[in-house]
Amino acid sequence: MKDDAISELKEKLRGISLIEHAIMLLEWDQETYMPPGGAESRAAALGEIVGIKHRRSQDPALGDCIERAEEVAQSSGDPDLLALVREVRYDYDQSVRIPASLATEIAETSSKALTAWRAAREKDEFSLFEPLLSKQVELQGDYADALQNDGFERYDILLNLYERGLTASEFEKICQQVVPGLRTIIERATENPSDVPSFMKGPWDKDKQLAFAREVATELGYDFERGTLDLTTHPFCTSPSAPHDVRITTRVSTDDFISNLYGVIHETGHALYEQGLDPEWEHTPLCDSISLGIHESQSRFWENEIARGEAFWSHFLPKMCQHFPGKLDGVSSREMAAAVNPVRPSLIRVEADEVTYGLHIALRFELEKGLFDGSISVADLPGLWREKMQEYLGIQPETDRDGVLQDIHWSFGLFGYFPTYLLGSLYSAHFYEAISRDINIDQEVSAGRFDTILEWLRTRVHAPGRRRAPLDLLEDATGSGLDPSVMISALDRKVEMVHGV
């Protein structure tokens, strides 16, 4: 009879997961095919369905069921059941702590803040965004207080929303290693600046770019029987139903092929994670990604570790030439690898190269931390942004549009999210190093054999789902804890190889 608690729990989780399926599809469509006139109704439909999901997630009957399931799991000793009830309990306890009135206020403020951010960016006028940004900081503080449990700082609690177990002091230590390490590499690389080689010049036919990118994604292991590739303004990956329905999007411009190709590979990395989740535990946290940092490690692994290497181009350059006859005659895979690995300080995070990227994150982390410990006020942000850009990257935005107003995240109240991008790079370097011990990666990639690498990730990173916390997963998979020097050394070697410095 007691086993019934597990079945009942799974049934309840399945219902919630199926409602999430609808939410994710409504959001996916909003970015891909929805006609503009449908925007207002779509927001309303999302509000309705999200409300239904919240009520189910906080239902006291779910709480009772979890309690009974915990007893069954404990007496069974089954590690999967124990992980299941642990994660479900975690989600439930988080969910019930948020008052409905706060959730509504955040949703409404986010909507207004998004509009204000768009206007402020359009007019390059930070003051238009400032009051709503202040409100979002205040509301996220309230949100952290509502979740408060073990005496953590507010910003720690927010960080934990995106990366379980991460604290500001730990991330600060990471930055203290990463920032000087990256700056040294950048200084060396920019002493010898390299021009963009002429073979990189456009125009690049859009349909051909998409056909080539699709071919690459397929070879890397993205299963189009369980996936799609559509066009959006901002690329993303979403899973209405992991691992069976996982979707990526991309953008394409005739000016260069980097944005499309590396965008598709990046999203493919995310999608491979979702397609590699454990179908046996579909609709439960065991078939869900553990954190944004681990998710990002998978996109960066394929984008940076694999697809920016010479071995990748020794396999794919002939294939790319077939799509673009005559355009790449005489280009070597080494030249191509150098061309796709620029190191150039620039203003916009999403356009930053692999080396300078981490500094954009360190800057944002310091500002967010200051906002929540009270040492920085919202009004100080534009000036501090310019100062820190100068300090870290040696350049300053002329406008706030290219500075503090460039990211959408804060308008949604996403504070503590940016650090996961850097964590993704750090984890990714660790995975690469660990795989190198088992597999001759260059040899496999040159031969177009990506399945051995994917299988390594499937077993150790994808299939566990939320069974293991991020750092435990890292330890299990690689045998070591997080060490920023792994990424720094790898970037150092790459820059030396590619730029000969």
Show which residues are catalytic: 267
Q: How far is the CB of 16 from its own copies (least distance, A)?
A: 9
Q: How far is the CB of 26 from its own copies (least distance, A)?
A: 6
Residue type, 478: T
Say whether residue 398 binds its own copies (CB under 8 A): no
List the one residue from 60, 225, 326, 500 that touches its own copies (CB under 8 A): 225
Nearer to its own copies, 191 or 207 (CB): 207
Residue type, 92: Y
Nearer to its own copies, 271 or 337 (CB): 271
Q: How far is the CB of 261 from its own copies (least distance, A)?
A: 22
Nearer to its own copies, 12 or 327 (CB): 12
Say whether residue 240 binds its own copies (CB under 8 A): yes
Q: How far is the CB of 59 from its own copies (least distance, A)?
A: 14
Is residue 293 within 8 A of residue 424, CB to CB? The reply is yes
List the one residue from 156, 163, 267, 282 that touches its own copies (CB under 8 A): 282
Rounded distance between C-alpha atoms, residue 147 and residue 92, angstroms: 12
Tell me if residue 165 falls in helix, strand or coil.
Answer: coil
Tell me if residue 167 falls in helix, strand or coil.
Answer: coil
CA angle, corner 385, sides to 262 and 187, nearest 5?
Answer: 60
Rounded distance between C-alpha atoms, residue 206 and residue 260, angstroms: 9
Q: How far is the CB of 89 from its own copies (least distance, A)?
A: 23
Say whether residue 227 binds its own copies (CB under 8 A): yes
Contacts of 122 (CB under 8 A, 6+ apart): none
The pairing of strands 227-231 and 245-250 is parallel
Say whether residue 29 binds its own copies (CB under 8 A): yes
Contacts of 229 (CB under 8 A, 6+ apart): 210, 213, 214, 217, 247, 248, 249, 250, 264
Say whether residue 500 binds its own copies (CB under 8 A): no
Tell me if residue 345 falls in helix, strand or coil.
Answer: coil
Dihedral pair phi/psi, residue 237, rounded to 5°: -125, 135
Interface with its own copies in residues 346-385 (CB under 8 A): none
Q: How many CA atoms lie within 13 A of 38 on its CB side?
A: 12
Say whether residue 267 binds its own copies (CB under 8 A): no
Interface with its own copies in residues 35-74 (CB under 8 A): 35-38, 40-42, 44-45, 47-49, 52
- Contact set with its own copies (CB under 8 A): 14-15, 18-19, 21-22, 25-26, 29, 32-38, 40-42, 44-45, 47-49, 52, 223-228, 230, 240-241, 244-245, 247, 282
